[in-house]
Every structure is written in structure tokens, then in C-alpha cells.
A and B are shown apart, each in its own frame.
Chain A
């Protein structure tokens, strides 16, 4: 009797939509609210004031189901810390996350263990992120076993995954990480992330350390896997070409804050923040007849320890006015756009900035 009831209940669910999909198609898969992480800096014994590195300072965004969010920025802008906070590899100081309608690790919400099974991560250093004393098939099967899968089934699935990512199981399954090339190791990392059948994968500079010819192979594989498994990606990279290629939505970070976010074509064709403009024009030209003549930005990113008030980019910005130094700009919609937001006084009519549209 009981089995019959579950059966009749199950059938329409599997045909109509994925039972995992709790919030429905309109609910963003992940909503992040005001995420913050400040690392204390070890000062001298007599240091009166405690200093903090503002690694992530109030980051909020949402990722729609089946889309790819690209996060770009210079080193030290907080993109990797953001990824680690989302994956809960470290606890945020404040802020909350909602995964498909359920609050993460809060009362009445989703347990952390459940959350981690739904969200997996691929790291930049393919060697450091694999256990050197485990064969790759063991590495892939290890996670599901911890989560209660039978060893035999986990092994079979691991071998299937290996062949899916292009590594022949008979030839590769019993190898150790040092016996593989960088590209192959990164494929193992991807297979390991997929072993949980996650719904979201965070790719933290996952192709940055690979050679160009291998990088293209891995990017193609990621695109195929995304379509097959209905995955949602958060793709972190400093390579603007790669982000352009793979993303639907792009978020630009500077010193722990989001300065601009919008659909990929908007960001690449009509960036509204001077920093995004500078990043885009810092890409080397591929045409020997039109070499870059001027560097778009001078200097290095400033120190993230106790940043001054006002816009954090104002020291390096060519459009800086007094208002930039005194008031911190907030994210506001770009005029005439519905999804493109930017944190810049030039975009805000009422900010007191006098040369509106100077950048255009």
C-alpha cells in the first residue's frame, strides 16, 4: 500500500520537473546577502588600534538557475575569499545565503552537510587539491562514501565519471595525481566535484594554471557538463576573455566590494564603472599594428587594511572629484537598464558629482 502511494506520487514529479528543484524556475539558485569577512592583522604588542583586512565587505548577488556568474577583479580584490565563504570553507563574519529558497545553516533552513552536497568547488591548483596518497578513482569515490553511498556503487560511478571527463578508466583509474599532467588533474578535480551530483559548481581560477591548448579543452568540457547536468556555475577568473566566453552574468569586484554587475554583453560593450573600463582595456591587443599605447591604470591596487571612506577606487580613477573621497557610492541601476548595476557617483544624478557622463 505504502509503495503504491509513493509510486503514484513520484511519477508525475519526475516527468514534470526535477524533484531537487524546490523553489521553481523563478527562484534564484543562490542568493547572497551582505556577505562580510574581515581578517584581523597581527599588530605589535603595543598596537592600540586593531587592524583588519577588509577581504569581503558587503557582497550581495543572486545567481539564476542554469546560468553562469563570472567574477572578475585583480588579485586581492576578494574574489577567492568570496568563493570560500559561499562554499562555507570559512565562516563569514556576517551575511546570509539562501540556496533555492532555503536559508543555509540557519534555523529551519538547510543543513550545512546538505548544502555542501549541492555545491561543489574546483580549485586553481590541481595538484594541491588532490590527496597525493590516493589513487584518483578513490579520490572521486571518497566523498559520496562519506555521505553514505555504498563503496561498490561509489566506485562504479567514479569510473563512469572518469570516462565522462575524458580519462579512460582502465588506463587512469589506479593512477596517483603525480602521474597525471595538469590538464588531466584538473579533469579529475571536475569529476570529483560532480560525484555528488551537485547543482552548483564554483570554479575558482580553474583553468588559469593550464596551458592555452589544454585550457580550451577544459572549457569545452565544462560547457558540455553544464548542459548535461543542468549545472549552475560561479566562474572566478582574472582572464577577461575566458569570463566573456563562459559567463551569462558578470560581477566586477574591487577591494572586497562589488563595483559593477550586469549581463555579460552589457559589461563588455558599455561598462559604466571606470575600473571596469580600465580592466577591459588592459587586455593586450592581438594586433601588432595596433599596440596598446597608454596604460589605463597606474599603480597597484591599494592596501585592503582599514580602507579610507569614500569610493575605494578614487586614488586610481581619472574622474575623481571631492564627492568620491567623502561618500561611498552604492550600487544603483544604470539609466535605462533593468539588470545592470554600478557603484559610481558618475552614474548617480543626485550624488553631487558635477561632470555626469564625463566618461562617455
Chain B
């Protein structure tokens, strides 16, 4: 295997401001060039924190970060000043959930894209403008020339998200971080954006980390899926493997509680309880209080992550084991 583009080792993030929380606990994964990883989890599971840490967006004063992040041979946590500025946008770039909030409302889309290009490359305004126009056309925005002169509020939600994607790709990053890019959109627009992302990824060969809470969206774009719970990756593997043969009880619960056509007229298999408080995590496995297969061991010791090839699992009682027993 070639050298991975992204490699996270034992990444631990704690917020130490007014509200204290252990947001990430020893998250490790590797991402190869051209691979799409889907980070799946509920709110508060740490998926957005992972992305924001990769972009170094957390305020340094109130965040303590442990572990290491390597992206394209650079030590991300050690970057400072202009090196960090170059990293953001040119190496790794991010698409946010709310494109309406991520754009600056007082500049046109074109001005913001030109600024982004010129911050990274020494080109004149005209060249930068042409490149912005090409990029907008590439993401299938109709009347791209006119849209360059529009302000963000003049675009519809789907169009704004397309513009956001165009802007994040305009400096040809090697890594695209997409933080729930389709959650705020309608179903018909969501599928358009998912197909567009897949197409652009194939074309540019970039790596993508795609954060979502919607299993369907993850299945549409990802090669691999990592399931997060309470700041840990509890299961990771090939898409087909995670969807068809989930081994962690949480993944199973998540799949079972997603409403499908075949559930009509039946009682849904819900996971009881609610996600734990990140400021005060239980001693053992964080999922143990909600898990129907938890044993004494689960409540005392944090399960170790078992790696087998590309997949990983942290559970004392994986589903396949208790199925064999019964």
C-alpha cells in the first residue's frame, strides 16, 4: 500500500472552556489517496469535531489536542502562521453544512472565489476570475457568469451548496472535508449534490472525508464507512461490509432503527436511551448503558480496537459472536 494521504493517530480533543467535554477519544484512521471515507454518527458523536480538528479550526486557548495528524506529509498540529494558511484551502478544504452561513454575505460569490485563488497562487484578477467561472460551470450552476456577480442570499439552497463546493475545489486540494453537505437540502437536491461530489472526486482523484448522519447518503458516496459514537470510532470497514454485516451493536441498532419500506405495520427496532453526556462519559464502553448485550466487562473496561486488514472494531461482544452462541 502506498503512503496514506491522511493519517490520524490517537487523536484526542478536549474542550476546556466554560463547557468541558471530551469530544474525541483516541481516534485513529488512515485514508489513501483517492479514497472516500464516510464518517457516520449521531449528533455529539464527534464527527464534526474530527473535521474541524483536521482544519485546525478550534480555538487554541480552550482546546487541548493530543495525538498526531499527518496530511500529505505535513504535521498538521505543528503548522503555524503562513504554513497553516497555505495548508487550509490548498491541501485540505472544507464544505460546510450551512452554505448560507459559510459565505460572507457582503461580498459576491465571484469576489470570494477570486480572493481564495489569489491567496494561494500569484495570479492576476483576470485569470482568477476565469478560473472561478470555469469552476462554477463545472458544478453545473446555470448562468454561471451571472451567478459570479450574485450575493450569497440571491442563490437558492442547492445552488449555494454548489457554489460552496466550487469554492472549496478552486485551489485543487488533495483532501476535501465535507461536513454534512446535504443535510439542509431537499431530497431531490441532495441526490444531485451527492452525484456531483462523486463525479468531481473521480475526476480530480482527491480524497474525501464525508460526514453525515444519514446512512443512505454515506452509502451513495463512500468507499469505507467509520461509525462514531461518543467521540470514538466503534466500527470501520468497507461500505458493503458495514451495511450488510455490522458487528458493533450500535451500528446494528442504527441500521435497524432506520425506517425502511419493509417496516410498515411493525414496531421499529429502536435503540433505547439517548447518547451519553460528553462531559461525563461512563467508565467502560460508552455504549454499554444502551446496549442489550452489555456485560460486567463492558461497564468496566474500554474495549480495545481490533484491526483486521482495512476494518476495525471496538467491542467486547461483537454481534457475530453472540449470534453463534445463541
Q: What is the interface of chain A, defined by CB distance below 8 A to chain B?
A: 74-75, 181-184, 211-217, 219-220, 223, 238-242, 244-245, 264, 268, 278-279, 282-289, 291-301
Contact = CB atoms under 8 A, between A and B. Distances in A.
Interface size for chain B: under 10, 10 to 19, 20 to 34, or 35 or more residues? 35 or more
Nearest to A245: B259
Given A284-B194, A287-B243, 18 more contacts: A183-B274, A211-B42, A212-B215, A212-B257, A213-B257, A216-B258, A241-B261, A245-B259, A283-B191, A284-B219, A284-B220, A286-B219, A286-B260, A288-B239, A291-B219, A296-B188, A297-B192, A300-B186
Nearest to B256: A216
Closest 5 CB pairs of A and B: A284-B216, A216-B257, A216-B270, A211-B42, A213-B271
Given A212-B42, A244-B264, A300-B159, A282 B191 contact: yes
14 contacts: A212-B254, A213-B254, A215-B257, A216-B269, A216-B270, A219-B268, A220-B268, A279-B187, A282-B187, A284-B194, A284-B217, A291-B220, A299-B142, A300-B186
A213 B158 contact: no
Contacts of B195: 292-295
A294 B190 CA distance: 12
B216 A286 contact: yes
Contacts of B260: 241, 286
A249 to B, nearest CB: 14
B188 A297 contact: yes
Contacts of B156: 300
B189 interface: yes
Nearest to B44: A211
Given A215-B257, A245-B263, A292 B220 contact: yes
Interface of B: 42-43, 142, 156-159, 186-192, 194-195, 213-217, 219-220, 239-240, 243, 253-254, 256-261, 263-264, 267-272, 274-275
Contact of B190 (A184, A216, A282, A298): A282
A220 B261 contact: no
Contacts of B219: 284-288, 291
Contacts of A242: 259
